[in-house]
């Protein structure tokens, strides 16, 4: 784990942390918007209330990230701006056609992102790691979504095939946009390769990380009762 003093002594590391917090902040802000929209699509009042609570929690996460960016002397809007296009393209390509697709997107699509950020947190300082892990915490949405999706499949088994295809599409789009961000933001890649007095990783560990991401995706699909 990186020494916190690197934020003051290593400009490249500082830029990487600001990028990491910026992409997370914009992700939380858009998650708030999406979950609020999903709440509007829900027919059941209890479902509306549950989703509204999740949206509120996502916004609190956004505020935590925004405040930390300010503490670091960064402009939150400027830190988030580089990631607007990637998020916009991802959401444009994966706009759900109904409430169930929105639920699967929140669980499977967002899950890939949070898993990746948890992996990256191993290469940052302790304070940044704690913040990243806190905003990647499950907000209760997992049990809620699994319950609703499984109930829908039980009621109409044909739904399962459609949602399984949707889940695979989400993974492909999420990975495509993640690769684009990594290619465009050199600072983020330095968190993995390391630097002076900072730990990095090697190709073998990157392979293991990708295997863990794939396993977690398969586990989520299985939890929903869908084929990975």
Q: Give tens-digit pLDDT for 180-228.
A: 777 777 777 777 666 555 555 666 777 788 888 889 999 999 999 998 6
What burial class does residue 26 get, using C-beta atoms within 10 Å of its C-beta: 0-12 exposed, 13-18 middle, 19+ buried? Answer: buried
Look up residue 124 and give its DSSP letter: S
Report domain extents, the chain: 6-223
Q: Above pLDDT 70, what percent of the chain?
A: 92
What's the topology of domain 6-223? Ferritin (1.20.1260)
Q: Which residue has the higher pLDDT, 228 or 26?
A: 26
**pLDDT reported for residue 13:** 87
Distance from C-alpha of 167 to C-alpha of 14, rounded to nearest angstrom: 35
Which pTM does this prediction carry?
0.87
């Amino acid at each position: 784990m990186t020494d916190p003093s690197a934020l003051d002594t290593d400009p490249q590391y500082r830029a990487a942390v600001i990028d990491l917090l910026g992409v997370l902040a914009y992700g939380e802000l858009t998650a708030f918007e999406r979950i609020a929209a999903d709440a509007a699509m829900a027919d059941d009042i209890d479902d509306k209330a549950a989703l509204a609570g999740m949206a509120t929690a996502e916004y609190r996460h956004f505020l935590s990230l925004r405040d930390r960016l300010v503490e670091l002397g960064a402009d939150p809007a400027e830190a988030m701006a580089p990631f607007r296009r990637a998020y916009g393209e991802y959401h444009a390509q994966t706009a759900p056609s109904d409430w169930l697709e929105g639920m699967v997107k929140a669980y499977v699509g967002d899950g890939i992102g949070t898993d990746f950020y948890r992996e990256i947190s191993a290469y940052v300082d302790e304070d940044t790691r704690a913040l990243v892990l806190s905003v990647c915490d499950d907000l209760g949405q997992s049990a809620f979504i699994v319950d609703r999706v499984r109930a829908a499949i039980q009621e109409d088994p044909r739904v399962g095939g459609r949602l399984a295809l949707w889940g695979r599409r989400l993974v492909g789009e999420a990975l495509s946009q993640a690769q684009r961000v990594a290619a465009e933001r050199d600072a983020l890649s330095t968190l993995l390769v390391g630097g002076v007095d900072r730990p990095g990783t090697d190709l073998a560990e990157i392979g293991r990380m990708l295997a863990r991401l794939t396993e977690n995706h398969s586990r989520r699909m299985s939890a929903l009762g869908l084929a990975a």
